[in-house]
Amino acid sequence: MNGSVLTSAFQALSGSKNDYERAVREIFAEAKVPIGGTEPYAVRVHDASFYRRFLAEGTLGLGETYMEGLWDCDDIAEMMCRFSRAKLSQKFKRNPVFLVNRLRAKLGNEGTKSNALHGVRSHYDIGNDLFGAMLDERMVYTCAYWNEADTLEAAQTAKMELLCRKLCLEPGMKVLDIGCGWGSFLKYAAERHGIQGVGVSNSVEQIGLARKLCAGLPIEFRQQDYRDVKGSFDRVLSVGMFEHVTHKNHRTYMELVHGVLVEGGLSVLHTMGRTQSMVRGNDQWITKYIFPNTQVPSVAQVGAAIDGLFVMEDWENLSTDYERTLLAWHANFTKRWPELRAAYGETFYRMWSYYLLICAGWYRSRALQLWQVVLSKGGVPGGYAWQKGRRVLGTAP
C-alpha cells in the first residue's frame, strides 16, 4: 500500500461521505479486496457509516463494524489474508487507538499477575459449553497436527503424540504443563505414556473441568500463576500459553522453567510466533475483544529469553496446520451454534466467527507462525535428532 493512498485516506476524514468511501475503496483495492464485487472475498457494505469508522479506527473499526452488521464477506479468511499481505494494519500506526495502546505497552507491564489473571479469565472462562461445541472431544484448544490426519480428532491426537515424542517421555516421569487448559495433554500422556503430571492455569473453568476429566489419574491441577510454581520436574511444556506471558516477562518464564527442570531435562515451547519483534504487536480488535494482555513473540525475543539458560535442540514451524485447525473450529462452531444461540446472542456469533476466520487468514498469509521449540537443560549427550520418524535422545560417544 503506497503512501499517497494512505495520505488521501487520512485527508478524507475531514471531507464528505463520498470522500470516505473513495478513500476506503482505494485502500481495499491496494489489497485486491473489492467492495461490492462477486468474488467470495469481496466486501458488501450495508451502511455507509462503515467507511468513516474504518478510516478513523483502523482494524479495530473493521472488526467492530462487522460485529454491528455494517458489512459482510463470504470468505473473511481470504479477505484478511489479502489485507495481511498488503500490510494493512501497519499503515494505521498513526491511528490514535494504536498510539495509545503502544504507549501503554511501553510504560506498563501487560504480563503482571493481575493482568495475566484478567486476560486468561476473560477468554477461557467464557463457557465450557462454547469450547465443548467448538473443539474436539478432548477439548484441545491449540494448533492440531495434520500431517497424516483428515479429521480434527485425529489431528489433535497426532499433535499430542508428537509432543510426547519430542519430550521423550518415559513411564514415571513427572511432567509440568504450564497453561494446561482442560488437561487434555496430561490426560493423554498419563494414559499412553505412564507419566505423572502437574497442570497449572489461572482459569477457574478449565481447572474445574480438568479435575473431573482426569479423575483417577496421577495428575494434580493447580489454579495458579506460573510464577508461583514450585517443585522439580523431568519435563516441562507449555502449549499456547507463552503468548500470555508478554515480552517483558519472557525471561522470567524461562528462568522459572530452568529452575524447576532437572538437569538434562527437556522442555517444549509450543507458541504462536511472528517475523518481527514488536512491543505492542497484537491487532487492536483482537486485544479488545478476544485476547487482552497478550503479545505474540518473535524469534529474537524467544532467543533472548533462553540465552544462557538452555540448549535449543529443535525448532519446527507448523503454521500452515493452524489455518486448517481454525477453519475446523469455525465449522464446528457454526454447526453447533443453534444450541448456543440463546446463551450467547447474535453479536457474539459475529464476533467469534470473525476471530476464528481472521486468524485463519493471518496464518494463510504467513504473517503468523506456529512454533514448537525443544529446549534442554545442559544439552542432550550425543545430540537430539530424527530416527525412524520420531525424535529420540542421542547416545553419548
- What are the per-10-residue average pLDDT scores of the chain (397 residues)? 48 63 93 96 97 92 97 98 88 50 44 47 77 96 96 98 96 97 97 98 92 97 95 97 92 97 97 85 86 91 97 95 98 98 96 98 96 96 64 45
CB neighbours of 319 closer than 8 A, spacing ≥ 6? 273, 363, 366, 368, 369, 370
Q: Which of 389, 367, 188 is nearest to 276 (CA)?
A: 367
Q: Which of 310, 318, 315, 316 is nearest to 375 (CA)?
A: 310
In this structure, how many other beta carbons lie within 10 angstroms of the beta carbon of residue 44?
11
Q: Estimate the crossing angle of helix 184-193 against helix 152-167, to 10 degrees.
A: 70
Max Cα distance, the chain (Å): 76
* Given 73, 168, 180, 359, the catalytic residue: 359
Decide if 359 is catalytic: yes
Helix (H) or strand (E) holding 211: helix 204-213
pLDDT at 278: 79
The domain defined by 113-393 folds into Rossmann fold (3.40.50)
CA distance 155 to 160: 9
Q: Provide the β-strand partners of residue 199.
A: 177, 221
pLDDT at 19: 86
Do 51 and 45 meet the contact criterion of CB atoms below 8 Å apart? yes
Beta strand 384-387 pairing with 390-393: antiparallel
pLDDT at 390: 47
CA distance 69 to 71: 5
Q: Which three cell numbers stand for residue 90?
A: 501497519
Collapse the DSSP code of 70 into the 3-class scheme (helix H, G, I; strand E, B; otherwise coil) and give the result.
coil
Residue for cell digits 513411564?
A: 171
Domain boundaries, given as residue ranges, for the chain: 3-107, 113-393
pTM of the predicted protein model: 0.88
Residue for cell digits 440463546?
A: 342
Burial of 184 by CB count in 10 Å (0-12 exposed, 13-18 middle, 19+ buried)?
buried
pLDDT at 94: 53
Q: Which residues of 86-98 are buried (b: 16+ CB within 10 A; e: fewer)?
A: bebbebbeebebb
